[in-house]
Structure 1
Amino acid sequence: MALTDLHVRNAKATGKNYTLGDYDGLSLFVSPKGSKAWHFRYHWLGKQSRMSLGMYPELSLRDARAMRDEARTLIAKGINPRIARKQKQQAARLAGEHTFIAVYERWLAYRALALEEGRQSTLAQIRRVFKKDVIPPLRRMAIHAITRHHLLEVVGRIEKRGSLWVAEKVRTWFRQLFGYAMVIVPNMENNPARDLHVVAVPLPPVQHNPFLRMQEIPSFLRILRTYQGREVTQLAVRLLLLTGVRTGELRLATPAQFDLKRGLWVIPAASLKQRMMLTRKQRKRVNDIPPYIVPLSSHAREIVKQLLNDFKPAQKYLFPGALRLTDRMSENTVNFALKRMGFDGRLTGHGLRATLSTALNEIG
């Protein structure tokens, strides 16, 4: 006979275990002390099995019957309901353990093993972009629950404000992060970051740094001589033009890198823009990569000699910051000086490197 709410409610403790049957395998188990639990009995692979559905009164008769019917539906589909429930519980546990923020932090720590620190480093860019654009909408989501649609929404907001290069980087970082998640997160079988580029807004054409042609250099040098800003900035521009080094390498220059007797500037691999490519390609540590040797002309040596003579005890870099001697020159200092000299849109600090290269090629 089918149970009623009254039967269930009036089932009392008798000092022994006993069971009240419902139908289709559902029953109410009553303990010697009167606690009540719902059980479901079923046959699987020729053997009788039993699974607990929950306690009464937390789980009503109506709810217990609904859970029994769900279990019977799984059996009809060839699925063991007990195993299915364990998998569901495991998925819920994994969802709590493997939120997006938890996986992101593990991935970032892994990336930090190979990436260098620094304000403009890849590691710093990842932190800034994820903090601003990615973590707020995805922070508490289970990594398994994140779909391609969620990632497209994040990238779409970045594209909408016109930051197409940032969006391109985020797509790449998503592929790396979710590829990492597929290895470390149990039951992570799909990478939702695949093929995000298919609907990407096209990037604008690459605009190379503007530079001067050989016939423009004499007038540029005349203007440079009358520059009214800091002398160290003028010397920085002149040394860039004479050596062809990158602005980053110039800003990181220290007195120890210069051998004026031999007329050499020895730039360590740690200061080179391509250091990461070199370490990955050659599978060497940065300290094991030979330095970059820049020969110094007589004019370049005179500039370095003047800078060394003016070097203060508090300085670390040959080209100090404008506000603090302990800092290096700002990355915008050279470009701002060129702008003040009337070369806005016509020349940049990096363009000085291209100017020298073009002039040397024209000379042959």
Structure 2
Amino acid sequence: MSASLTESKILAFKKKVEKEKRTQYLTDSTGMALFFRYGTKGVTVTYLFRNRKAQSNNRIKIGTFPAMDLATARQKFMQMLSNQERGMPIVEPDIITFEKLWEDFLATKCRTYAPRTIKRYLSIYRTHFEKFKNYDIKKFDMAFVKSSIVDPLTAEKKTSILHSIGGILYRMFNYAKHLGYFPFNPLQDLHEILPEHKVKHHPSFKPDEFENELPKLFDTFAQNAELKVQALLHLYFYTLLRNEELRKLKISELKDYYYTLETKTWKEVEFRVCFSTQAQELIKWLIDHHVDPDNPYLFEGRQSAMMSENTLNDNLKKYGYKGKLVCHGIRGIGEKWITAQPEIKEMIAKLCIGHKTALGNQSDQTYNEGDYFDLRQTAMQKWSDFVESCIGKNRFY
């Protein structure tokens, strides 16, 4: 929709978007685009320059309405258009510091990234990037990053963090390219100078060991561990949740046969965790034996907090499983067992442990709005039946 806009027309269209509850575009007579984004907190209006010559990331933000008035936005748009026609950078900054780019980049990610991811980004900035905050971003080419970041950390044998740092830098400078600061990402090939990434494998049992080792594991805990620790171990197996996800279960939020939570990979949609009949019975036992009425967590820790993240791993080490099994390895056991069942698709097995990548790439995921709950429920019940057979006489709920 193209029109000679006025600020009153923008306000009227904003109300229309709020009423229809859907994101829309308007195009000014100058060619400038206005992006009306509908969200839970209302409608935001952004002036955009559409770079028709770019194959991707072709929308450059000019400003937001009403913080920037229409006349100023048009003036900036015409200047950007003139720069493009003369073969100059669309955006002409004096000096863009690393700190300025970081702040702008992080502001865009705060809307989509989980709080724990933002916290990790800020930690990396303080430790590895803050010393560069006043540097001109034009200084950041492959040679500079290699000599200033990659080589020093490699010499200190801190290579495990380098891939996280590299990923952040790549995304930052891709964003800088999108803003028109660079004609291309200067760190496009950053992966080529990073050390080989070593994948961390969590100690776990092999598939041909499941039927022998799992009964021994449950026997060992039944003979030595407290009932609450045994319950923690059993529910790990029944649900295949991550350490933090399981310990964060709150009694008030539990449903009869599922629990909705934000997982590590499902941040923008609700993911329902399936509870087998065994899991439901164990949860009921835990609620019946809950001690502190002021503690909201299913697994109680000290001072109304959740149980410690080290509880199960410490007990595994204590009872002879050091280097053989950690709590995260339980998820791998479940995935391998479920995948081996001929009637269950591999995709369902991966979804049982909350891996969204099972749905394919980002484009594929857009069309897979469901979480295959019924199929996962069937798979998790079959898995829980096997786990229960391994627990045997040690079942106390």
Same structural fold, with TM-score higher than 0.5 when normalized by the shorter chain: yes
SS of the residue corresponding to residue 324 of structure 1 reads: helix
Q: Which amino acid aligns with 2:163?
A: E
Is residue 125 of structure 1 aligned with residue 120 of structure 2?
yes
Aligned to 2:272: 291
Look up the match of 1:140.
134
Change (3 A) 1:176 1:356: closer
TM value normalised by structure 2 = 0.56
| 1:313 to 2:293 alignment | yes
Q: Does residue 82 of structure 2 align to residue 94 of structure 1?
A: no
Aligned to 1:111: 109
1:214–1:359: 8 Å Cα contact kept in structure 2? no
Letter matched to residue 247 of structure 2 = R
What are the Cα deviations for residues 54-90 of structure 1, in whole angstroms up to 9, with x where unaligned? xxxxxxxxxxxxxxxxxxxxxxxxxxxxxxxxx9xx9
Task: Describe the SS at the equivalent of 2:178.
Answer: helix
Pairing partner for 2:332 from 341, 350, 354: 354
Contact 1:239/1:303, CA 8 A, preserved across alignment: yes
Structure 2 contact 202–328 (Cα < 8 Å) conserved: no
**1:10 aligns to what?**
none
The CA distance in 2 between the partners of 1:337 and 1:358, in whole Å, is 24
Amino acid at match of 1:319: F
State the Cα distance separating 1:361 from its structure 2 match.
Answer: 6.5
Say which SS state the counterpart of residue 307 (structure 1) adopts: helix
Aligned mates of 2:280, 2:193 — CA distance in 1: 53
TM-score (norm. length: structure 1):
0.61
User: What is the identity percentage for the equivalent residue pairs of Structure 1 and Structure 2?
Assistant: 21
- Could you say which residue in structure 1 is the equivalent of 2:228? 232
**Which 5+ residue runs of structure 2 have no aligned equivalent?**
1-87, 343-397
Aligned equivalents of 2:181, 2:198: Cα separation in 1: 39
Q: What is the match of residue 176 of structure 1? A: 171
* Mapping 1:39-54, distance limit 5 Å: none
List runs of 5+ in structure 1 lacking aligned partners: 1-86, 280-285
The 3 A distance-change label for structure 1 pair 362 and 149 is: closer
Q: Which amino acid aligns with 1:317?
A: Y
The amino acid of 1:245's aligned partner reads: L
Q: 2:219 aligns with which of 218, 222, 225?
A: 222
CA contact (8 A) 2:239 2:274 kept: no
2:283 pairs with 293, 299, 304, which one? 304
Match of 1:256 in 2: 252
Aligned 8 A contact 1:269 1:292 in 2: yes
How much does 1:344 deviate? Answer: 0.8
CA drift of 1:173 comes to: 1.0
Q: CA deviation at 1:306?
A: 2.6
Question: How far apart are 1:347 and its partner, in Å?
Answer: 0.7
Instruction: Find out whether 1:275 has 2:303 as its counterpart.
Output: no
- Contact persistence 2:247–2:297 (CA under 8 A): yes
Q: How far 1:256 moved relative to its partner?
A: 3.4
Q: Which amino acid aligns with 1:224?
A: F
- Give the whole-Å Cα distance in 1 for the aligned partners of 2:275 and 2:153: 41
SS of equivalent to 1:129: helix
- Of structures 1 and 2, the larger Rg is shown by 1
Give the 3 Å change call, closer, same or farther, for CA 143–205 of structure 1 in structure 2. closer
CA contact (8 A) 2:239 2:273 kept: no
In structure 1, what residue type is equivalent to 2:234? R
Seen in structure 2, the aligned counterparts of structure 1 residues 361 and 203 have a Cα distance that, compared at 3 Å, is: closer
Shift of residue 257 of structure 1? 4.2
